[in-house]
């Protein structure tokens, strides 16, 4: 297998792991957010009331991020036999404090080990024993011990260093990071690059580092809202079906679904994709320059009431939406102008031929 093929397969495995993780993060993150918003900061320290218990439920769910992504990366590589040992080793990784990076590495190690074990020839009469006992036992033992004695400490140190670096990011560095996260969220609208940025933001949120998670969550709705605005201010560039898609994009953007942009990107990728990248990146960078964050897992519009500065957070969203809409319509106007010139040239050429 070539390195290019291996890298492509690995990206697909990561995307599978994150896709399975998203419902967990959504449920647990919203429960935690609601608890903190209504119950206040004291909910982190007690479970005597409803909000404290909601926090407990949500925090428990967030605690499964590492084992879950490990298990489903392994599942993507080796199918069902990879699930159990990856869950076990993912829990160990979580307890060791290796964070999101540890979960990803566990998923890869268990997945490929199980895949190799599945290919080992055994007598027909012990195939079931191999699947139910030998594979999960060997994979859990080997990767678990490897994690504890060899790779756990370096990954833990790397995770702590990354968290400290993110926490200490100030000025231009934080703005650049936010811009990169915004661009990654927009570039493939729910695809593998988007999923990587999403997972990074979730990992930051889980570590209590809110600047990257704020950028990631803000970026979710800028592309669909930008395309809705584009259909409003530049109707002549869009078909009736696209204008209708714009209305759907508005609704999807308000509830935090980036995929509302996909119909526009499919129809005109050369103009739409660069525009949503620039607009989303700009929104996240401007918000980072203002230093605005929020400690919820709510996307873009829904997070407005909980931002540390509602005005500048809202202004950043509007700037990103406006840049997206103006840029895409400008690019479409150039396309229309070139088509008119082409038609005019053809007409002149036909007239001269006569």
pLDDT per position as a tens digit, 182-200: 998 898 777 667 777 887 8
pLDDT per position as a tens digit, 30-67: 787 788 778 776 776 777 788 888 888 888 888 888 89
pLDDT confidence of residue 166: 63
Tell me what the pLDDT averaged over the chain comes to. Answer: 85
**Maximum CA pair distance of the chain?**
90
Token pair in block for residue 271:
């103009």
Burial 19-55 (b: 16+ CB within 10 A, else e): bbbeebbeebbbbbbbbbbebeeebeeeeeeebbbbb
pLDDT per position as a tens digit, 233-243: 988 888 888 88
Question: Would you say residue 206 has pLDDT above 90?
Answer: no
Compute the Cα dihedral for 302, 303, 306, 307 and give only its sign: negative
pLDDT per position as a tens digit, 102-152: 888 899 999 999 999 998 888 888 888 888 999 999 999 999 999 999 988
% of the chain with per-residue pLDDT over 70: 90
Give the model's confidence band at 258: pLDDT under 50 very low, under 70 low, under 90 confident, else very high.
Answer: confident
Rounded distance between C-alpha atoms, residue 257 and residue 253, angstroms: 5
Question: Would you say residue 77 has pLDDT above 90?
Answer: yes
Domain edges within the chain = 3-167, 171-345
Give the model's confidence band at 201: pLDDT under 50 very low, under 70 low, under 90 confident, else very high.
Answer: confident
Place of tokens 């927009």: 186
pLDDT per position as a tens digit, 151-181: 888 888 877 776 676 666 666 788 988 999 9
Q: Pick the closest to residue 283 from 329, 327, 246 (CA basis).
A: 327
């Amino acid at each position: 297998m070539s390195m290019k093929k291996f890298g492509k397969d690995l990206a697909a495995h990561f995307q599978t792991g994150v896709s399975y993780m998203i419902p967990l993060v959504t449920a647990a993150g919203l429960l935690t957010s609601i608890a903190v918003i209504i119950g206040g900061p004291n909910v982190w320290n007690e479970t005597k009331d409803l909000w404290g218990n909601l926090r407990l439920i949500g925090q428990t769910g967030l605690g499964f991020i590492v084992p879950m992504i490990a298990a489903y990366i392994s599942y993507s590589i080796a199918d069902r036999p990879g699930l159990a040992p990856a869950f076990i080793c993912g829990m160990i990784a979580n307890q060791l404090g290796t964070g999101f990076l540890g979960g990803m590495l566990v998923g890869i190690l268990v997945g490929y080990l199980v895949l190799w074990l599945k290919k080992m020839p055994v007598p027909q009469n012990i195939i079931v024993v191999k699947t139910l006992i030998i594979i999960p036992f060997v994979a859990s033992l080997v990767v678990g011990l490897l994690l504890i004695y060899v790779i756990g400490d370096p990954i833990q140190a790397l995770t702590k260093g990354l968290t400290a670096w993110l926490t200490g990011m100030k000025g231009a560095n934080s703005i650049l990071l936010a811009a990169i996260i915004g661009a990654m969220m927009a570039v493939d609208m729910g695809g593998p690059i988007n999923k990587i940025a999403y997972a990074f933001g979730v990992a930051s949120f889980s570590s209590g580092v809110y600047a990257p998670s704020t950028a990631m969550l803000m970026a979710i709705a800028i592309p669909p809202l930008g395309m809705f605005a584009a259909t409003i201010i530049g109707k002549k560039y869009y078909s009736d079906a696209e204008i209708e898609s714009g209305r759907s994009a508005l609704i999807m953007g308000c509830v935090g679904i980036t995929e509302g942009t996909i119909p526009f990107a499919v129809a005109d990728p050369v103009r739409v994709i660069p525009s949503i990248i620039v607009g989303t990146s700009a929104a996240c960078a401007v918000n980072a320059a203002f230093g605005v964050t929020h400690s919820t897992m709510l996307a873009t519009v829904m997070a407005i009431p909980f931002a540390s500065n509602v005005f500048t957070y809202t202004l950043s969203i509007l700037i990103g939406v406006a840049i997206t809409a103006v840029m895409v319509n400008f690019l479409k106007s150039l396309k229309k102008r070139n088509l008119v010139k082409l038609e005019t040239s053809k007409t002149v050429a036909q007239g001269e031929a006569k």
